[in-house]
Amino acid sequence: MKYRTLGPDFEVSALGLGCMPMAGIGKGMYGEANADESIATIHRAIELGVTLFDTAEIYGPLVNEELVGKAIRGKRDGVVIATKFGFRYDENGMTGVDSTPANVRRACEGSLKRLGVETIDLLYQHRVDPGVPIEDTVGAMGDLVREGKVRHLGLSEAGLDTIRRAAATHPIAALQSEYSLWERDVEDEILPLCRKLGIGFVPYSPLGRGFLTGQIAARSELPEGDYRRNDPRYSEENFAKNMEMVAVVKSIADAHGASPAQIALAWLLAQGGRYRADPGVEAPGYAGGQHEGGGRCAVGGRSGEAGCGGASGWDGWAALRRKGAVDDADLTSPLPPAGGVGGGAPPVDRTPVRTSRPPLTPSRKREGNLLSPAPAREREGI
């Protein structure tokens, strides 16, 4: 496993493990997950050198952190736990965003208990709260660092102004936002700002919410109730066109005996070189049940299995790294237009809800390649 640095001195594995689909809210987003298999996947990831494991209070809510805590019991040394806060709840579930200092502390205390740890390695604000100045939120997070309850701070889906103001209040180790072959709006301004400020960048949904794995051949394969049925990129009018992007990724994968998921992750890892080690681009590989890849291990799987196989998927990824199939992927092959058809735009700064844009028209398509990405689409907000 290779390692990268988030912030000035926070080392994590280049591939992390997003645990959201393993328990709680993931069931309604990517299908049912098996708890025993999920824990086995975390254990196998640790054996293979993965150190960064990502969860959140809202993933459940609460039960996802409990599962991760159970999985890392007795294996804490060398494991980096990232979790998130930023919402309020009642007996019926989440009712809105809340990044008040009081809720920052409440959430942290709860996460520490559920995870069974004395310190959270990386605490993210999950979504920006437009009703609370970011200086107040980050100031409260900084108090937790000084008390030894948190080691590093992060933001998620924050805009330019919020990032600058947060970094002026307390060092920010990482920004987590969506970034993949088909969601690249961060390239114009967000990534350069992270590089300038020395903030690491952690992409979520690196496999396009499963689309880039090539395992979903038709929209009808998505279970009823799967939230992706409401994603414009999975709509009937856009699905076939976006499959053309998957065909390109598949062709590169076939040429190197790899899976499409491995190629998509290899591309993301290669982007770190463009920004040097400063932002420490890190690609979470979501695993455990029906999730990003629509299979059981979106991080890789054995060659030809396109990310299937639970914990064994990590073995497939490691084997491809050893034989050079991933590092030697043809990163100059033609790439379909960034963003796909019906892609989603990042939220306006200080707005916690993601938006979507109309499908790309042929006149808006661009050519690019995997090493020199096409210009980001005109964005909403920011």
Q: Which residues are marked as active site? A: 59
Residue pair 62/33 in contact by the 8 Å Cβ criterion: no
CA 71 to chain centre: 20
How many CA atoms, within 13 angstroms, populate the side-chain half-sphere of residue 87? 19
Taking the C-alpha atoms of residue 373 and residue 357, their distance in angstroms, rounded to an integer, is 20
Residue pair 61/90 in contact by the 8 Å Cβ criterion: no
CB neighbours of residue 88 within 10 Å = 15
Residue pair 247/221 in contact by the 8 Å Cβ criterion: no
Separation in Å, CA 354 to CA 28, 77, 96, 251? 18, 36, 14, 31
Which is nearest to 122 in space by CA: 145, 150, 141?
150
How many CA atoms, within 13 angstroms, populate the side-chain half-sphere of residue 314? 23
Residue pair 155/124 in contact by the 8 Å Cβ criterion: yes
**Nearby residues of 378 by Cβ (< 8 Å), 6 or more positions away:** none
CA 180 to chain centre: 9
- Token couple for 164: 């600058």
- In sequence order, the β-bridge partners of residue 96 are 88
For the chain, the 3-state helix, strand and coil shares in percent, each to the nearest 5, are 40, 20, 45
CB neighbours of residue 92 within 10 Å = 6
Could you give phi then psi for residue 124, rounded to 5 degrees?
-100, 145
- Token couple for 372: 């020199």
Q: Residue count of the chain, please give it.
A: 382
